Amino acid sequence: EIQEHFKKAGIIATDISGRPRIKIYKDKSGVPKGDGLVTYMKVESVPLAIQFVDQTEIRPGFKLTVQKAEFQQKGEKFIEKKHKKADIKFKRFQQSTALDWDEDGVKEIKGFRIVILKHMFTPAEAKPDRDKFFDELKEEVGAEIEKKCGEIEKFTVFENNPDGVIAIKFQNGSNAHKCIEMMNGRFFGQRKIECFYFDGKTNYKVGASEEEERERAKEYEKWLMAEQEPTGEKEQQPSTASTAAENDDEGNAK
């Protein structure tokens, strides 16, 4: 819950076991005291967390107060914490991999240039003409965001994601920041949008369902049959099995 709420401001650091570095303070009897600590990978996320998360409700009636952590020395003597070589290597590896995104999935973040928008559509809305629907969505959303936030380098719609996810890569971090300020909490098609920085690891790509694949195969077969209507001598029509196989090739090539 805390991780989901605070990731709006940037990538949350993880320990060597992969767990997010989030600490909930407890009293001697193990009861949470009501305060905690979230560690981000980049220091620039701290003021963003104060801006986006402070005075928001993590649960109904539970409002958060967010501020920069301040640590006090215990005792008079300062004891420097020793870091194992493995920990240092892991931290360097984590920083290098978490800030680089691959063009097909979402893995290429340099600084904070990539934002994720959720609840921009539902896969059911795309029917019956998926291509037209997603082309219009890209044109409508992309044009408005580029006009108000700045130049977009890459606009990716994860068409089969049930959360209606779009990823936008901007030319610079300030434009991404403007996008979050403008889009987070806004309503689009009667749905409340979530807009936050990409965390560097979540894969939003979802494959088409078996039913959708069957529907596409049927549509492709209809189109193929229409294209091959005989104009003179009667031509042999392709079988359903061969058409489905050709549709698989077409889908894979896309």
Separation between Cα atoms, residue 178 and residue 9, nearest integer Å: 13
Separation between Cα atoms, residue 42 and residue 136, nearest integer Å: 36
Q: At 194, which helix (H) or strand (E)?
A: strand 194-197
**Residue found by looking up tokens 């020793």 in the block:** 82
pLDDT-derived band at 3, boundaries 50, 70, 90: confident
CA separation, residue 69 to residues 19, 38, 46, 56, 147 (Å): 20, 9, 9, 18, 37
Cα-Cα end-to-end distance for the chain = 37
Question: What residues are paired with 26 via a beta bridge?
Answer: 32
pLDDT-derived band at 85, boundaries 50, 70, 90: low
Written as six digits, the tokens of 81 are 């914490």
Residue 88 has pLDDT above 70, yes or no: no
Q: pLDDT at position 179, please?
A: 93
